[in-house]
């Protein structure tokens, strides 16, 4: 287990380093940062001075070295727009994003898993049909259109929920549904098919034959085995969730990290873009490592070596 964890940790570090290099190269190779960051009416001398101040006139590998060295110590440079440390700005926005992401993920799990299980148990029933149609719709409806339609119906027409900004629980409702829907659809499909696989298995037939009570059968025998693929997908869904959070936060004027990143890209505020992307990658590898550990708890047959 320890050896496995060490190997996973090395892999995780590589992913974060790779993401850092990628975002750095994208930002620095695809145009002169000084030219895009300075106002259009800046004189040549001003641009040159800015370039020198920011160190953009040094060779690329030197720039990356100093970026990486500072980043290791938690210093991602100051935001070019706000003049404050980029890391601080991103962390300031993180709770809002986490609140939205967790409530969306929780909603998806709470709705999708029971319905997916029931749909598998009652295959070809009305519930199964409705669940499948719902999953298909959830997977096909673009996040931003869903958000806009929810705003139109529940915000504008019915006036039940506020449509922008952060506040009490009522502010959370529409963004949570918007963000959670796609993940919910994915999870529902996967839970259903994963349960169907388990229900077909020999060990379940044996358990049923020896008279295990239905609820125990479901809980100890079926679900225990259906969990693995479901948990895996929850881990990989996180990146998709982040992508969709960008749009959800934009639509609902949610003051989160994703919206900060979009604004920073528009403003060419490179330090913020770098820090947000790296934080997202850290969160992703962190959660996926936790899931690997979780596996061995769920399934004692998995012995990492």
Partner 1 sequence: MTTAVNTLSSLDEPVRRRSFVSLLFAGPATVAGAIVIAVVAVFALCAPWIAPHDPNFQNLPAAFKPPSWLQGGTATYLLGTDDLGRDIFSRIVWGARVAGIVGLSGVAIGGCIGVALGVIAGYFGGIVDDVIARIADVQFAFPAVLLAIAVVGVIGPSLLTVVVTIGITGWVQYVRVVRAETLSLRERDFVQAAVATGASLTRILLRHVLPNVSSSVTVLATFGLARAIILESALSFLALGVPPDVPSWGTMLADGRQFLDTDWWLGLFPGLAIFVTVLGVNLFGDGLRDALDPQSR
User: Contact residues for partner 1 (CB under 8 A)?
Assistant: 11, 14-16, 18-19, 22-23, 26-27, 30-31, 36, 136-137, 139-145, 148-149, 151-152, 156, 236, 239-240, 242-244, 246-247, 250, 258, 261-262, 265-266, 268, 273, 276-277, 280-281, 284-285
Measured from the CB atom, the residue of 207 and 239 that comes closer to partner 1 is 239
The CB-of-91 to partner 1 minimum distance in angstroms stands at 18
SS3 letters across 129-195: HHHHHHHHHHHHCCHHHHHHHHHHHHHHHCCCCCCCCCCCHHHHHHHHHHHHHHHHHHHHHHHHHHH
Measured from the CB atom, the residue of 227 and 270 that comes closer to partner 1 is 270
Measured from the CB atom, the residue of 13 and 293 that comes closer to partner 1 is 13
What is the signed CA dihedral for 285, 287, 293, 296, rounded to 10 degrees?
-110
Measured from the CB atom, the residue of 148 and 298 that comes closer to partner 1 is 148
The CB-of-265 to partner 1 minimum distance in angstroms stands at 4
Q: 174 with 154: CB under 8 angstroms? A: yes
Q: Rounded to an integer, what is the distance from CA 202 to the centroid of its chain?
A: 36
The CB-of-170 to partner 1 minimum distance in angstroms stands at 19
Give the C-alpha distances (Å, rounded to integers) separating 100 from 24, 87, 107, 169.
Answer: 28, 20, 11, 11
Q: Which residue has tokens 């330090």?
A: 271
Q: 284 with 238: CB under 8 angstroms? A: yes
Measured from the CB atom, the residue of 114 and 125 that comes closer to partner 1 is 125
- Angle between helix axes 270-298 and 60-72 (nearest 10 degrees) is 60
Measured from the CB atom, the residue of 198 and 247 that comes closer to partner 1 is 247
Both tokens of 25, joined, read 């190269």
Q: Whose CA is closest to 87, among 73, 100, 97, 99? A: 73
The CB-of-167 to partner 1 minimum distance in angstroms stands at 21
The CB-of-222 to partner 1 minimum distance in angstroms stands at 20
The CB-of-85 to partner 1 minimum distance in angstroms stands at 21
């Amino acid at each position: 287990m320890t050896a496995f964890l060490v190997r996973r940790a090395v892999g995780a570090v590589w992913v974060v380093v790779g993401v850092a290099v990628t975002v750095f190269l994208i930002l620095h190779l695809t145009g002169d940062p000084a030219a895009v960051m300075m106002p259009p009416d800046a004189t040549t001398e001003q641009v040159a001075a800015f370039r020198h101040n920011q160190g953009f006139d040094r060779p690329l590998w030197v720039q990356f070295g100093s970026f990486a060295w500072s980043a290791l110590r938690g210093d991602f440079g100051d935001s070019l727009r706000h003049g404050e440390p980029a890391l601080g700005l991103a962390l300031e926005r993180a709770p809002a994003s986490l609140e939205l992401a967790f409530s969306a993920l929780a909603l998806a799990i709470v709705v999708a898993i029971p319905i997916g299980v029931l749909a598998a148990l009652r295959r070809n029933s009305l519930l199964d049909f409705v669940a499948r149609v719902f999953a298909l719709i959830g997977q096909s409806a673009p996040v931003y259109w869903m958000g806009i339609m929810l705003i139109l119906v529940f915000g504008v027409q019915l006036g039940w929920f506020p449509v922008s900004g952060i506040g009490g629980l009522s502010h959370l409702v529409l963004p949570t549904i918007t963000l959670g829907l796609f993940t919910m659809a994915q999870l529902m499909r996967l839970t259903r098919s994963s349960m169907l696989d388990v229900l077909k298995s020999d060990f379940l037939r044996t358990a049923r034959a020896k008279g295990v009570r239905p609820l125990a059968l479901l809980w100890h025998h079926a679900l225990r085995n259906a969990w693995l693929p479901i948990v895996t997908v929850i881990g990989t869904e996180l990146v998709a969730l982040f992508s969709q959070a960008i749009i959800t936060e934009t639509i609902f004027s949610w003051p989160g990290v994703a919206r900060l990143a979009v604004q920073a890209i528009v403003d060419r505020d490179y330090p913020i873009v770098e820090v947000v992307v790296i934080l997202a990658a850290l969160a992703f590898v962190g959660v996926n490592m936790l899931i690997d550990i979780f596996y061995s708890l769920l399934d004692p047959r998995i012995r990492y070596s």
